[in-house]
Amino acid sequence: MGTRRHLLTRSGLGAAAFGAAASLSLITSKKANADALSDLGFSPDTGPGTVTSDYNILNFALNLEYLEAEFYQRAVTGAGLSPADTSGIGTTGVVTGGSPVPFATPAIAQYAAEIAADELAHVRFLRAALGPFAVAEPNIDLSTSFTTAAVAAGLIPPGATFNPFADETSFLLGSYIFEDVGVTAYHGAASLIQSKTYLDAAAGILAIEAYHAATVRTLLLQMGQAPATAAISALRAAASGADDDQGVTLYGAANISLGDGNAIAYSRSTAQVLNVVYLGGASGGYGFFPAGLNGAIA
């Protein structure tokens, strides 16, 4: 914990900033989105992190899948999602950043391509499940957000730039920033989903996300990036307000399957996930979602 506090104090995006973001309700959904949701039969949430319908939970997951799909699609193909995969309730946002990664290792390029295909499939699956209730893709920042996170974690000094598309090591570190977050988000949502059909689907997606995270963690361990992952994990844990994260080594040994003492994957509430992806709120430019998520949980 001492190392975690040191990193956050040094970064300027300390625990106080994350706590303030949570207490100020982070970002409120746009009124247009709220009105559209109401017209289509959604029950409005009472506040950030609360859930009143499976549709709201699935749309929360869809926002996160938009982020991952855009990141991997751009890294592999140089192009983002098509309009057919991003339209929906609310205003379709703009994605900034992203470019093809000059992969030097054929195996890593193949892993990236497989993950990109999986994330696109997740977007399309959730959109099909939601039908007319699917929210549009929000604004997504794939440039400044990574630099903000890297500075906050102490990976680079203030004023420097971190580009996750520059090379395959940077790409994997960029992936690491949010891959484990997706696993904890789906685990946290499991107890909230009422439909057994949706719960079964969410469990299946969680498993695939865990495969992705384990692949990224294994590669980074092999590359000697354990210190960098420890710094990122410390930042994520401080953001969520719980000791729920670890790097790729623990007590000097490999730590690929991230979980608690019972080997159960960590779980995060929607509010905790928002604290992480918003990078502390206003102090971090609201991180990967500069205008917030679309939908009732934002």
Q: Which residues pair with 141 in a beta bridge?
A: 96
pLDDT given for residue 43 in this prediction = 38
pLDDT given for residue 154 in this prediction = 95
Q: Which residues pair with 250 in a beta bridge?
A: 253
Angstrom distance (rounded) from CA 105 to CA 211: 20
pLDDT given for residue 31 in this prediction = 37
Angstrom distance (rounded) from CA 235 to CA 241: 10
pLDDT given for residue 44 in this prediction = 36
Q: Which residue stretches of the chain have pLDDT < 70?
A: 1-52
Angle 106-130/168-190 helices, nearest 10 degrees?
30
pLDDT given for residue 41 in this prediction = 36
pTM > 0.85: no
Angstrom distance (rounded) from CA 145 to CA 183: 20
CB neighbour class for 197 (10 Å; exposed up to 12, middle 13-18, buried from 19): exposed
pLDDT given for residue 132 in this prediction = 92
Q: What is the pLDDT of residues 47-81, one digit of tens each?
A: 334 445 889 999 999 999 999 999 999 999 999 99
Torsion of CA 138, 142, 144, 145, to 10 degrees: 70
Q: What is the pLDDT of residues 123-145, one digit of tens each?
A: 999 999 999 999 999 999 999 99
Cβ atoms of residues 98 and 74 within 8 Å: yes
Cβ atoms of residues 182 and 110 within 8 Å: no
